[in-house]
Structure 1
Amino acid sequence: MVSKSDPIIIVGGGAFGLSTALHLAQKGYTNVSVYDKDDHIPPAAISAWKTPLFAPYFHQTGFLHCVSGEAPEKAVGTLNRFRASAERNSQIKPHVVPIQHSEDARQACWQLDGPMAGWHGYLNRFDGYAHSGAALAGVYRAAQAAGVRFFLGERNGAVEEIVYVSKLEGKKAAGIRTKNGRFHPSSLVIVAAGAGVGRLVPQLGQTVVAKSWSVAHVHLSDEETSALRGIPVTYARDLGFFFEPDPKTNLLKMCPMGGGYINTDPKTGVSHAPESLKESAFLPQEDETQLRKLLAQTLPSLADRPFVQKSLCWFADTSDSDFIIDYIPGMSDSIIVMSGDSGHGFKMFPIVGSWVTDMLEAPGAQQPVARWRWKQPPSQGKKGDWGGDVSWRVGETKELAAILPPKASKL
């Protein structure tokens, strides 16, 4: 069992890693270090979002959750399940407003002046969005103030490998080796490396896959940004979503829905995020078409605007969208994997780290939540299929190599 003074290393300074670092420090663990290859942070539970630390980054604008008139049955079924879940919750139910046609949607958000033909669903006024970059930076500062040490950048923070030692009953993680060749000892290694987890923990096999979805922005004028202030998160389940623009940058962020993109190693069948960010700095044509359709339906004056800051955003995905937060079997409780955010984990940012401290203090060194326990990977050689069986996603997963723009090549 790890003591409060034992050295603990967290690999990854994203939402899972930062939340864990903060919760460990708040629980009295005094020797916590975070390693991340980026040279700054950020490098991406509603009551917890309303606490003093997180409240500045949470905006309770509401969630307009609909499908368009052309939505496939799968999208409609998912919408109905989400609505039923919200209405079963006594705290949320009073805030749920039915949207039966486009005029209801315009009543919920007068700025939406597009046709929205056949749109229906509901508005959840209890919901909203969080500013991820600002929240990560705020928790980074809070963790530093609580005594957590950070090692950032390619030279000091990039982790090359986890170092193991042999024991009679198996192996044990002894620490990490960074790319500068230095060994850093630790009693416990927590791997929260996002889409890069598979490279550091090959034992995961195809249990976790690096998958990406597109992100793009429209640059607005000051007046346009002001006019869209306070709009609800607007989500057509079969098209995509957007939310109020950032007043500091005048950027309206948009994301299309789909099965996502993977980057499969043909030798292992495991998908890894590309080594170079440059390879992901584009918007696939089919996603651009989908986003323009979303704008034409909702904010038609923006439908032909150029997209800026286009990229694929990589996540660690699982076939069932459940997290994996558990010890690796046979490693003497010396290494924990935090993975499987599946593109929807950030909403748990304020509390996800508490799940690790709960597990450290749980009897029998076992993850108390069964669905988050270690899962044996599928047999080697069989290519994974992630996305098609996940009910809340519409569309099939595609390979990165198949959608790369001309003159780009897979690394």
Structure 2
Amino acid sequence: MPKDSKIVIIGSGVFGISAAYHLAKEQYQNIKVFDKGDYDNNKFNPLQGATGASTDFNKLVRASYVEKVHYQNLALESLAVYYEWNKQLKSAAFLPEGLTNDDLIFKNTGYVRLDDYPNNEEERTLANFSKQGLRAYEYDINDPEDIERSKITGWYSKIDPLNQKGTVKTLSGVLDSIAGVANADKALLWMKYLCERTGNVDFIYGPRAGSVSKIVYSSETPEKVVGIETADGKYYPADYVIVAAGGWTPQLLPSKNQERLESVGSTFICVQIPHDRQDLLEKYKNFPMVNWKLTFEGNLRKDGVYMFPATDDGIIKIGANDHFWRYLTGNDKGILSVPNTDFKLLPLESLNTYKKFFRQWLGDLSNAGVKIEKSRYRFSAVGQHNEFVIDFIPGHSNLIVSSGGGFHGFKFLPIIGRFVEGLISGKDYKYAEFFKFDSIPKKDYDIELVKDQANPYALNSVKFVDRKTDYFDL
């Protein structure tokens, strides 16, 4: 494929910006990335107004995937790159605003998965880690030998961070000392910087210039894409168009292909540790990433919660296991779930999950008077079987979809874009077969698209919290 091919990428989140980087690295010289986010100003930070699922200040990086070994191995590959990025950033010159040599892109915090009922997921995950020679980095919280080993290696304090032993009689779990937290906004800024250093990528951001209003098809050959139009009325010709718009992806697909992905929303909250409580700051900064009641395969319990370590500024991000919200709207393609990032209120069901978690396990924060200072929705494109979709859209020779992050895609930022590069360059990278559009037959689809606005998970009709102050009480 000619290296001067005009390549348009819709979306500057994980899938889009990674594709741009891998294409630019292979000397494709004419790449344009469009996104309606105001990333030149908010620097991918949700606390400054960024709304994409990728735009965040922290994301989990883990390789535990039970028997989905393709994700496990890709995550391990990504981890190695994150460590290299940390080294490179320390000595990088001419950094853009928002990045400094003192920043970390990845921090090895550890990740503890806790549950209150027996399941064999951890056993299967540990078996696959053993095959990779990594079992020594995992600590079963109830295994005496693992507990003793954690004392020697310095991980013991993170085995029971919520002090649940003795309270939860059926407590089980594993501390994963390989995993950690990516500073997501810094990681995206870094990859954008790497793209721009090649001289092959232009980023067009903003609600007018960066918002793609239409994919333009050839009048003579309808299956061929010829370009895009943006909200400010400009037309950009393209030899390839890559749809990597996260939760906005399904609405950009041809209607007959939309059931392969669905836009699904989830909430998270931020609490601020009081500035005069240095003791609490030190405690929660040294927490591992925590999952409570979030099994990988049976991820259906509504009182499941994940919790990040506190930032240096004392902000703790906590998310509920509520990634089932849809916002339904009608258009010429029928009823479709689309992102709505204007919501300011939490669903009552989600708030009750947060309150229960604080009441049970975070009493010192509650006693210190913390409130929910910020709440946000994130809409992600979820694929059937929660598999990514990175492929040519059936029936189209130059229209590619790269999406389906399903709330677990960020960790693959360093490497996921190579699968798009492979499609354009004609390369067949390992594991690409898992991401084909037709890798899952329709008869095996496990997600039925929500179309009814009265559905209990449709944000159009759920009961919201009546917010009367600038924060929610916990």
- TM-score interval (norm. to shorter): 0.7 to 0.9
Give me the whole-angstrom Cα distance separating, in 1, the residues matched to 2:429 and 2:111.
36
Give me the whole-angstrom Cα distance separating, in 2, the residues matched to 1:397 and 1:100.
38
Given the superposition, is the C-alpha separation of residues 81 and 216 from structure 1 closer, same or farther in structure 2, using an over 3 Å criterion?
Answer: farther
1:51-200 alignment runs, 5 A limit: 51-52=84-85, 56-68=104-116, 71=117, 76-90=119-133, 92-100=134-142, 107-109=157-159, 112-113=162-163, 117=168, 118-147=170-199, 148-167=201-220, 170-200=222-252
Structure 1 residue corresponding to 2:457, chosen from 398, 404, 411:
398
Structure 1 residue corresponding to 2:288, chosen from 229, 232, 249:
232
Do 1:97 and 1:122's aligned partners in 2 also have CA atoms closer than 8 Å?
Answer: yes
Do residues 327 (structure 1) and 414 (structure 2) align? no
State the shift of 1:93 in Å.
1.0
State the shift of 1:295 in Å.
3.2
Percent identical among aligned pairs is: 24
Partner of 1:255: 319
State the shift of 1:111 in Å.
5.3
Partner of 2:253: 201
Do 2:266 and 2:379's aligned partners in 1 also have CA atoms closer than 8 Å?
Answer: yes
What CA deviation, in whole Å up to 9, does each residue of 1:287-331 have, x standing for no partner? 222223333443321246321211221100112010000011222
Give me the whole-angstrom Cα distance separating, in 1, the residues matched to 2:181 and 2:349.
26
Do 2:348 and 2:463's aligned partners in 1 also have CA atoms closer than 8 Å?
Answer: no
When the two structures are superposed, what TM-score results if normalisation uses the length of structure 1?
Answer: 0.84
Do 1:79 and 1:237's aligned partners in 2 also have CA atoms closer than 8 Å?
Answer: no
**RMSD between aligned alpha carbons?**
3.1
Q: Which moved more, 1:218-227 or 1:337-346?
A: 218-227
State the shift of 1:6 in Å.
1.3
Partner of 1:284: 347
Partner of 1:393: none
State the shift of 1:241 in Å.
1.2
Count, aligned residues? 383
Do 1:324 and 1:340's aligned partners in 2 also have CA atoms closer than 8 Å?
Answer: yes
Q: Please list every run of at least 4 consecutive aligned residues from structure 1 whose deviation after the TM superposition is greater than 6 angstroms.
A: 365-368
Amino acid corresponding to residue 234 of structure 1 in structure 2 = V
State the shift of 1:100 in Å.
2.1
Do 1:37 and 1:157's aligned partners in 2 also have CA atoms closer than 8 Å?
Answer: yes
Given the superposition, is the C-alpha separation of residues 331 and 167 from structure 1 closer, same or farther in structure 2, using an over 3 Å criterion?
Answer: farther
State the shift of 1:80 in Å.
4.3
Do 1:8 and 1:32's aligned partners in 2 also have CA atoms closer than 8 Å?
Answer: yes
Do 2:36 and 2:210's aligned partners in 1 also have CA atoms closer than 8 Å?
Answer: yes
Give me the whole-angstrom Cα distance separating, in 1, the residues matched to 2:114 and 2:164.
14
3-state SS of the aligned residue for 2:236? strand
Give me the whole-angstrom Cα distance separating, in 2, the residues matched to 1:108 and 1:84.
22
5+ residue gaps, structure 2, are 45-49, 55-77, 90-103, 148-154, 295-303, 468-474
Given the superposition, is the C-alpha separation of residues 187 and 347 from structure 1 closer, same or farther in structure 2, using an over 3 Å criterion?
Answer: same
3-state SS of the aligned residue for 2:417? helix
Give me the whole-angstrom Cα distance separating, in 2, the residues matched to 1:240 and 1:110.
16
State the shift of 1:212 in Å.
1.0
Give me the whole-angstrom Cα distance separating, in 1, the residues matched to 2:292 and 2:465.
30
When the two structures are superposed, what TM-score results if normalisation uses the length of structure 2?
Answer: 0.73
Give me the whole-angstrom Cα distance separating, in 2, the residues matched to 1:97 and 1:367.
30
Partner of 1:392: none
Partner of 2:339: 273
